[in-house]
Chain A
């Protein structure tokens, strides 16, 4: 079983749609969680951290469910510019021991 698992997609949605991605992790001792965004052939960039209480940044909402060991990312009012691959990242313990999921690809169409 992979340490971090994501549905690879692609998720094809029209502009304005709401879309949600889930990510599951296997190490119950994981301490911190993040979503990164990666545009095609570009480097990953931090989108947002995921806090236990859930957090929101504009159209993006991230949530953590420790009991079920998954995190989620909700994107409201999708824009064409949201088209990218979204990487779930988990700190499996210890400084900077980050484990990256393989990513979920999102395609937003006009």
Chain B
């Protein structure tokens, strides 16, 4: 089954404790991206990657890191989480030449205390 898998789906952590949210897709997509969704603000892009070893900042990259060492994986790293990073996070992927259809993971709800 074609899918984008995120883990963990739910996480409560404390300020400053490094965490990684993993994202894996099995559709051989070149493009992958991370979004956060907050009430009243919609989905905002954090980072994206056009292919292996190619990443770039989105609209809200501060406080986040990513890496793309393999085509299928695109982890999101919060080196020192803060309460303002409490949010619902979505990973998404697509083919480079698609017409705008993104395939999303089921989301990871993160709470930073």
Q: Which residues of A contact B (CB under 8 A)?
A: 4, 32, 34, 41-46, 49, 87, 89, 91, 95-96, 98, 100-103
Contact = CB atoms under 8 A, between A and B. Distances in A.
B102 A87 contact: no
Interface stretch (B20-28, B38-46, B62-70, B76-84): B38-46
A42 B99 CA distance: 22
14 contacts: A42-B106, A42-B107, A44-B104, A45-B104, A46-B101, A46-B102, A49-B100, A91-B100, A95-B31, A96-B33, A96-B94, A100-B44, A102-B40, A102-B41
Q: Which DSSP category, helix, strand, loop or mixed, fits chain B's interface?
A: strand
A49 B33 CA distance: 20
Contacts of B102: 44, 46, 98
Name the residue in B90, B102, B106 with the highest tally of chain A Cβ atoms < 10 Å from its Cβ.
B102
B106 A44 contact: no
Contacts of B45: 98
A45 to B, nearest CB: 7
Contact of B43 (A41, A96, A100): A100
B96 interface: yes
What's the interface size class on B, roughly? Answer: 20 to 34
A45 B101 CA distance: 8
B74 interface: no
Contact of A101 (B42, B48, B90, B96): B42
Contacts of B106: 42-43
B100 A98 contact: yes
Given A32-B100, A34-B100, A96-B33, A43 B42 contact: no
A32 B99 contact: yes
A102 B39 CA distance: 8
